[in-house]
Each structure stands twice: as C-alpha cells, then as structure tokens.
A = this chain, B = another copy of it.
Amino acid sequence: MRIEVDGRFTGKFVSEKDFTGIAPEVRKAVESLRAGTGKGSSMLGWLTLPRDYDREEFARIKAAADRIRKNCDIFVVIGIGGSYLGSRAVIEFLRSPRHNELDSGSPAIYFSGCNISGSDLDELLELCSRKDKDVSINVISKSGTTTETAVDFRCFRALLEKKYGKRRAKEHIFVTTDRVRGTLKKFADEAGYETFVVPDDVGGRYSVLSAVGLLPIAVSGIDIDKLMRGARAAMRELDTDPDDFMNNPAYYYAAVRNLLLRSGKSVEVFVGYEPFELMFSEWWKQLFGESEGKDGKGLYPASVNFTTDLHSLGQYIQDGQRTLFETVLEIVKPDSRAKIPNDPANIDGLNFLSGKMLTEVNRTAMKGTLLAHEDGGVPGIVLKLADRSELSLGYMIYFFELACAVSGYLLGVNPFDQPGVEAYKKNMFALLGKPGYEDLTDKLRSRL
C-alpha cells in the first residue's frame, strides 16, 4: 500500500478497548457505504470513479490540455470550492507552489472565480490582457449560476472576445459543467465551447479525479494516467473486510479520529512538513469540514506547515488548551537530495549536521515534534505516504475520500451534503435585492 497509518502516538489516548468498542460501528459504516444504503448514497460515484471513468472524455481532456500547453502562456481556472481546491492542491503538491515562477515549460496557471475580491480580479485581468500573453480559460460550475464563478466568467469571456474576437475566442474557452442540464451547458453548446462533465453522482469535494480536476492538472504537465492508476490501486487495496479495519489505513484512520473526538478532542490539525503540501491541506479541510461539520457535530479541521509553524502555532500546540490532535503527513521517500554544507567558521554551531541531507533533518524534526507533542498531551496520527509522485498522490486522494465517507457514517451524519452552505448565499442574495427574496431582504436589513 502507498499509505500506511502509524497510530503509535495515539496509544496514550485511545485504548485497545476503544477499538474493540467501535469495531461493530466500523463494520456497519463500511457495509452501508459499500451497499449504498447509507445517507446520501446517490453521491457515491467517486467510490468507483478510478475504475469506471469515461475513457472517451479522458482522452479529450488530454488532447485539450496538450493544445492549451502548446498555445497558451496563461491558463485561468474559474471555479470555487471543490471546483478549484483539488486541482490546485495536486498541481502544487506535484509541481510546486511556485509553479508559475519556475521555468516549467507549462503555462502559468491562475485560479479565479473563487472569491469576490475586486483587487484579485483586477490583477488577473491585467496579467491576462497583456498583448504578449496568450490566454485560455476553464470555467467549472455544475449549474453555471455560482455567483463568484459566474461573475469572473463574464469578465474573462469579455477579455478573450476582445483579445481574439468572438469567433476565435471560443477556441480559448473550456467549460466543465452538467452533462445535459443547466444554462451554462446550453450556452456553451450554442457558443461552440468544448465541454467536459461534472458528474451527477460526485460531489464537488470528491470531484478532483473527474474532469473538474483533471483538465487543469493535465495542463500543468502532470501525468493524469498515473494519477488515476494510483487511485485505482487504492480503490482495490482499500476494499477489505471491515472486521479487519485495524489493517485498513482508511478504516483505521476513520476509527481513530472518531475515538479521539469522543475522548474530548475538538480540533484536528493536519500537519505537513513541506510547503508543497499547503494547498493539499486546504483540500483536506474542505473534504472533512464540509462532510462532517453538521448537526452540531464534527472535528474542526485546521492545518499547519512545519517546521515554519512550530515557530508560530507550535507554542499553542505544545502548551495551550488540550483540545487538539494532529494528523501528520510523512513522505517516506522525499525527492530532494540537498545536503547541509560544512562551514569552517561554524558560526551557527551546526557542523554536527554538515553533510546530512535536509530531508533527514526534516524527518528528525518530525519525530522529535511527535514525541514533544505526545508529552504535551497532543496525540499524533502519522500517515506515511510512499513518495511525491502521481501514483502516490492519486492513492492518497482516494484514501482520504474513503476514510472521510466512513468517518462521516461513524459520526452519524450525511457526508455527502452541505446544507449549511446555502445560508450565506440566501442572505447575500436577499441583501443584494435579488428578485424573489423581498421578504427576507426586509428582515435582514432591519438587523443591520
């Protein structure tokens, strides 16, 4: 398996007995997930996606990505939530958070339509309107009516039609939306934009391995065949007898984090030791926060990047309120060969490290921190990922999706809906005077 879970640093906080106690619940959760009898079971497409994905569309994604890589300097992804977090997380994890600044031979990739920031939009439009820049966009929205995404799509469509003229602009616009329904699909077909599908049975936060994530990922030059193969391996290897859940990393992770929640921990901190893991932890936060944060339940998903944040939130984690546990991502075979040079002057007193690989020192920092935090009353779950590769990342994505679904069922919620996301939209529309919201408008205005 490309992921193993090391629970040693939770031993002082959850007991054999706890695991025996939760075993029947794990079986029930896994069975209802596999049988499709649990809550939200109409949204289980992700469960078999790595095997059953549409090969014809997959080929079109690769072809489109090749054209974009050949013809464009800038590629703008327009989407929010699940329509951008997954692809951005994968691109930064496998390429770099500095992808756009390194000569990677790929187009610069920007993410738009994921906020209502005028200054952010001003910058991107300025960058894209430069004469010497060829630009393509990929708008991603199931309905086509998501405010943030729709607003920026209006702006970038106008920019492209100004740059290339209406007729040629359509070769620069790629639309990922509903297969048949929705105004965006209809409009795209009429306008002659190439379209890709947001599957009906895959929720946004589970959609990174569909066209939603795959087109931007392929544009960055990442091998999406390998990514899917990794996920397929996870799909196969992680489908084991739930009674043996201690040996299934996904089931075990779901169980132990629920046991820690029941023991009084309320915040799960996702810990990375590499800057390229930062956006992946944002994807993880959406996956677990949106799947489990309902009915007054759920662990609050936070994240840190060490050792940076050991000089920031480290003090709190070591000595603050004892309501935390950590989930630590360890990359077993890191890809850097950088060594610490010797310094004859030894002004920093670090010559005992001369010649050591940074990756070794980084791993030692991780071990020392796990021990320190355990002593401080903070349990640590260690996820050991084989390496920084397409195969391993595809595997880890599926691992977390599966673990999250099982964990949500253990918690007793529907891990596949997000009713709470509507609340702010309704208020926003009412306050903006959207037709049909008049009653609410007055109620809200009176409270402001």
Contacts and interface: CB of A to CB of B under 8 A. Distances in A.
Query: How big is chain A's contact interface, by range?
Result: 35 or more
A301 B85 CA distance: 22
Given A282-B312, A318-B423, A302 B305 contact: no
A129 interface: no
B81 A345 contact: no
Contacts of A154: 340-341, 343, 348, 350
A308 interface: yes
A183 B150 CA distance: 57
Given A293-B313, A343-B154, A358-B116, A319 B432 contact: no
Nearest to A117: B274
Interface string A119-155: 1111101110000000000000000110110110111
A362 B116 contact: yes
A88 to B, nearest CB: 11
A315 B119 contact: no
Nearest to A153: B348
Given A313-B285, A444-B371, A348 B145 contact: yes
Contacts of A145: 348-350
Contacts of A55: none
A21 B36 CA distance: 54
Nearest to A157: B343
A364 B428 contact: yes
A294 interface: yes
* 9 pairs of A and B residues whose beta carbons are closest in the complex: A293-B316, A118-B336, A81-B311, A368-B427, A293-B320, A318-B420, A150-B348, A286-B312, A118-B358
